Chains A and B, each alone.
Chain A
């Protein structure tokens, strides 16, 4: 459909376009993370490409492949006037980062936040790097293949009662405390922390600012110990 875009990219960037394909009519170009921003800007500004309509950004996790980095990062864009689409792909390793595309298409903002939330791929220079669909205390990135699907991280611990028809009312120490985030600490500029009450309740570390590494995915042991 839009072979022209791929040819244009190859003419402009030469070897820096690592691969192109048009399987099933979806045009795709693969670039290295360092060229990511430049190629995206070119796609938007070049009068022959004119990719002004942002569509989507997402990741795919391949933990088992050895020859290539672990994550595929994909961005889908289309041109309103030319009616063609292209899919740009790059590959990053765990802990690696891709430049954020928010300066190019502002719509990448939430998509990249979601990709960070779900896969832990860091988008360098993102203006608002918070989790979006999950809560801030969440540990790990659930769409990675090594995140167990049965694993739960409830903010309010499950209640262990025999007769579920007659649930006793929540005690003073149960349920979700008001203001689970320590806003005071955040305002004062220290690192973002979960309020101590919640941290204790769940046996979790204070979670997840950028760059916090999580090593053991299965915190069940720690959680049950405190319960």
Chain B
């Protein structure tokens, strides 16, 4: 038989006729967690360009805040990043307390830090294990979710709810820590560590996992900054920006922890930064548990902002009136503008709040970390393959509730 191509010049140039193809991915796609639409422009399997379209989960968070009173924002704030709701709760309380000039007792601050770090652990475990699952590793997902449930058991014991706690208050927390709080946290932390090691042992020597994550979805340091990227995604590019270190709030300057950074800003670095942050969070929690006093008030002693004790409400007329005023009219936050920012699960979680002095927020702007992280996703993905979209998108940890609000 004669070969198909005789002359040299055609050798190796056999190509199927291909022109750029436009493909729609999402908004409801089995391989993507989160309701989001991507319009891809493909050349073969290479992503030439893509248009990311969020907004399918938009529920009008900022508009809804403008109709209730300040305390009624907490349930909405819970539903921003519903994987780590406590961080959003505390972030919003801190912003309002900044505007009101309110100081919470020391015990409350430690309590907030512990609950917040537990939430951060659950957030990172969810993100990492779900990214692993999307690459076919189902076992790490089940193990991490098991641990997450143990952590949620602690949060349930404290707040009464597993996910949407609505536990923050302006000037404190809704309830005191339960008597067994410290014990139960101390009991669960070693188990988290153990499962973390097991999970890493499954993934970090896995050729498939490494090939699918290393060098994929790269982002450079300068571009990440210009895009407004924060959180683990920014730290994976080598920038050591963590709000807890750079602008310490609560007692983060009194605890000892490190900020893990990556080099390349690829999926692997994001994965490793998150796992290392879980360890650092555990370190923070242990220090906080040692430093948190067992006795003492949990709410600020300020009748303008904090509800009186129930016993007093039932027995004294002053407390009854104070209770009635706060519930009916809302907390009167002094007029002004303030931007309070904390380190959320995905980066800088900011609340820009404007008060006109009445009981209702005039404007609550949430600076969503996912929104800006997702914005940079376009740059990460251009030039990669279609199959790389899933792990890259997973490693950004886009939370629909926070991105679309």
Contacts and interface: CB of A to CB of B under 8 A. Distances in A.
B338 A110 contact: no
Interface string B50-65: 0001110010101110
Contacts of A107: 226-229, 372, 375-376
Nearest to B374: A110
Interface string B259-277: 0000000000000000000
B181 interface: no
Interface in B40-81: 53-55, 58, 60, 62-64, 66-67
B241 interface: yes
A133 B58 contact: yes
A168 B184 CA distance: 51
Nearest to B98: A24
Interface stretch (A12-20, A50-58, A204-212): A50-58
Interface in B87-134: 98-99, 101
Interface string B146-165: 00000000000000000000
A225 B14 CA distance: 61
Interface stretch (B301-309, B348-356, B380-388): B348-356
A76 to B, nearest CB: 6
Contacts of A181: none
Interface string B367-405: 100011001100000000000000000000000000011
Contacts of A24: 98-99, 101, 336, 338
A42 to B, nearest CB: 16
B225 A53 contact: yes
A23 interface: yes
B47 to A, nearest CB: 18
A80 interface: yes
Contact of A52 (B226, B229, B339, B371): B226
A55 B227 CA distance: 9
Contact of A55 (B350, B354, B404, B405): B350
A56 B338 contact: no
A132 interface: yes
Contacts of B336: 23-24
B212 interface: no
Contacts, number: 98
B228 A55 contact: yes
B325 interface: no
A61 to B, nearest CB: 8
A40 interface: no
B352 A56 contact: yes
B375 A109 contact: yes
Contacts of B67: 149
B55 A56 contact: no
B365 to A, nearest CB: 5
A169 B376 CA distance: 41
Given A80-B239, A106-B227, A142-B63, A58 B98 contact: no
Contacts of A87: 339
Interface string A142-171: 110001010000000000000000000000
A76 B350 contact: yes
B348 A55 contact: yes
A24 B404 CA distance: 29
Interface in A57-107: 58, 60-61, 74, 76, 80, 83, 87, 105-107
A23 B223 CA distance: 31
Interface in A113-160: 114, 118, 131-135, 142-143, 147, 149
Contact of B404 (A80, A83, A106, A133): A133
Contact of A54 (B53, B66, B226, B404): B226
A149 to B, nearest CB: 6
Given A26-B339, A56-B352, A149-B63, A132 B54 contact: yes
Contact of B226 (A25, A26, A105): A105
B226 A106 contact: yes
A145 to B, nearest CB: 8
9 contacts: A25-B98, A26-B339, A56-B367, A58-B352, A60-B365, A109-B375, A118-B62, A149-B64, A149-B67
4 interchain residue pairs of minimum CB distance: A107-B228, A133-B55, A54-B228, A107-B227
Interface of A: 23-26, 28, 52-56, 58, 60-61, 74, 76, 80, 83, 87, 105-111, 114, 118, 131-135, 142-143, 147, 149
Interface of B: 53-55, 58, 60, 62-64, 66-67, 98-99, 101, 222-223, 225-229, 239, 241, 246-247, 336-339, 348, 350, 352, 354, 362-363, 365, 367, 371-372, 375-376, 404-405
